[in-house]
Amino acid sequence: MNKQFHLTKDGIEELNAEIKQLMSRRVEIAEAINIARQQGDLSENAEYTAAKSDQERTEKRIAEIDHILKNVAVIKQRKSDKVVLGSVVELKNAEGKATFTVVGTVEADPLSGKVSDVSPIGSALLGKSVGDDVEIVLPSKTKKYKVASIS
């Protein structure tokens, strides 16, 4: 049984755009390999080695994205009074505000405010309601917030 990957529609679109871009790179990489082959001895050909490594990374990523897209479960945006996958949560404390979107592990991007449901922040938020206190335990410190809104 394959693992299901939870993604929003935006996350699926991003992966489709990435795989399309990677597939278009195949031609460039094949051309770089061909040019490097023409230079002679492949055992000491840095351009050939680099092009083959690039090809391997690209093919692995294409296969990875393909696997994810074949086993995707779409996170449906639904109105809920509790934090669930896909919720946008605004937190407040004395220091200010923080906004997070709870997503699956594949789509997580903490720098963009997208936290995984299994991350310390995401798991602390799941199931909370507006007005609930949230304690987020991070490696360096623990922060306390109140859930201000869920959308």
What digits encode the pLDDT tens for the residues 58-112? 999 999 999 999 999 999 877 789 999 999 999 999 889 999 999 999 999 999 9
User: What length does the chain have?
Assistant: 151
Only one residue has tokens 């391997």, namely 56
What is the spatial distance between Cα 19 and Cα 59, in angstroms, rounded to a whole number?
10
What digits encode the pLDDT tens for the residues 107-136? 999 999 999 999 999 999 999 999 999 998
What single DSSP character describes residue 78?
-
| Closest of 150, 114, 151, 113 to residue 132, by C-alpha | 150
Q: Find the distance separating the first CA and the last CA of the chain, reported in whole Å.
A: 33
What is the spatial distance between Cα 149 and Cα 130, in angstroms, rounded to a whole number?
6
